[in-house]
Amino acid sequence: MSDAAGASWTYCPRCATPLVKRHEAGALRLACPACEFVHWDNPLPVIAALIEYEGKVLLARNRAWSNGMFGLVTGFLERDETPQAGVAREVKEETGLKVESTALIGVYEFMRKNEVIMAYHAISSGTIELGEELADVRLVAPERLRPWPMGTGYAVADWLAARGLPYKFIELPLIEATAGASS
């Protein structure tokens, strides 16, 4: 679903002419030789939620991830949705929890998927009910969190640092996906 990179595009979405590669505005891009269409291939924003629930941080394992991997809840924004509303929606959909407040942790590159991550601290309440994208969740005390050195892991590290909590990045290998990308 998250084919923001559009690397597999073959035909112009406007006129169905086969796309060609050509230089446009300083980069080699897929463009249409018959009309004005250019596939700009700009990064897609993704929201991530560091969910605080009953004093612990909720880490989620996406169904599409291999066993043992847990990360933040992530997703794409809908049209006409603010990042904060998107966080609240994704948290509700995937964990059943109600977001009481959101605060921006930071914005992070995720070039591997041509995405930009906007990470929020989301204080949440309610009862955990897993949505269809998640296989499992784990509640971890903040002082026991181990961030991962990529994508949303940097948001976890910054969140811990802002609380004066020492941390050490876990070792890779680790494949991180964004939750919305599994469908």
Between 37 and 169, whose beta carbon lies closer to Zn ion?
A: 37
Per CB under 5 A, the segment of 7-15, 22-30, 63-71, 76-84 that binds Zn ion is 7-15
118 near 107, Cβ under 8 Å? yes
Which DSSP string do the residues of 121-180 spell out, in sequence order? EEEEES-----TTEEEEEEE-GGG----SSTHHHHHHHHHHHTT----PPPSP-----GG
Distance between CA 34 and CA 17 in Å, rounded?
7
Distance between CA 43 and CA 106 in Å, rounded?
16
Closest approach of Cβ 32 to Zn ion, in Å? Answer: 3
103: contact with Zn ion by CB under 5 A: no
Closest approach of Cβ 13 to Zn ion, in Å? Answer: 8
Closest approach of Cβ 11 to Zn ion, in Å? Answer: 8
Joined together, the tokens standing for residue 85 give 């509303």
Per CB under 5 A, the segment of 31-39, 86-94, 110-118, 137-145 that binds Zn ion is 31-39
Closest approach of Cβ 36 to Zn ion, in Å? Answer: 7
- Binding residues for Zn ion, rule: CB under 5 A, are 12, 14-15, 17, 32, 34-35, 37
